[in-house]
Amino acid sequence: MNTARGAAFSVGLTGGIGCGKSTVAELFAGLGATIVDTDAIAHSLTAPHGAAMPAILAEFGPDFATPDGALDRTRMRSLVFTDAGARGRLEAILHPRIRDATAAAAAIATGPYVIFAVPLLIESGTWAGRVSRVLAVDCSEDTQVARVMQRSGLSADQVRAIMATQVTRAQRLAAADDVIDNDDGLEALLPQVTRLHERYLSLSM
């Protein structure tokens, strides 16, 4: 397990698709933690006139932009899902910019500790060494599939194909210092979040 400590106490929050990372992050935010969401940063970078768009279009061509100048996420998702080389080229553009933006956001954090919400924290190979603790939100694979199907309209096969591109549940749990179970809904989440919040407060002092 990771025991690294930086200048300030930080937590890397991760979990597979449909596990409920955003809900957990919102609960921590409600208790006063500063949340730095790498997905939100990536969306900002690829929004209309986003900072990453010129490099993306130079690399992949104008067909990967929507009429308003944002990243055509559907087209890009289809490409990188089937082409590991393309995924690597996209990550080479986005990851340094995301890293700089997360560092800037953490530098102005006002909470007692920072939670970096990183969906692919384990997959990245670098994030775990940059945070004080890794927190995984966990639920059964069947729950993941059901949640994603309900919110996105994807088929079960499509959801499981996305899950197959992520580390396994066992790998994620093995890499985690702390785990929140999210199989039983919101009422079961808050007590777990509160306990960890109190622990993180004590560790951050």
Annotated binding-site positions for ATP: 18-23
49 Ramachandran zone, left/alpha/beta (phi>0; psi -120 to 50) = left
Structure tokens at 108: 């102005």
- 125 within 8 A of 44, measured Cβ to Cβ: no
Tell me the chain's radius of gyration from C-alpha atoms.
17
Please spell the DSSP secondary structure of 88-151, one letter per residue: HHHHHHHHHHHHHHHHHHHHT--SSSEEEE-TTHHHHSSGGGGSSEEEEEE--HHHHHHHHHHH
> What are residue 36's phi and psi, to 5 degrees?
-115, 110
CB distance 136 to 176 below 8 Å: yes
- Give the CA dihedral 63, 124, 186, 183, nearest 10 degrees: 110
Residues annotated within the binding site are 18-23
Cβ count near 94 (within 10 Å): 19
User: How would you class 10 by CB atoms within 10 Å of its CB: exposed for 0-12, middle for 13-18, buried for 19 or more?
Assistant: buried
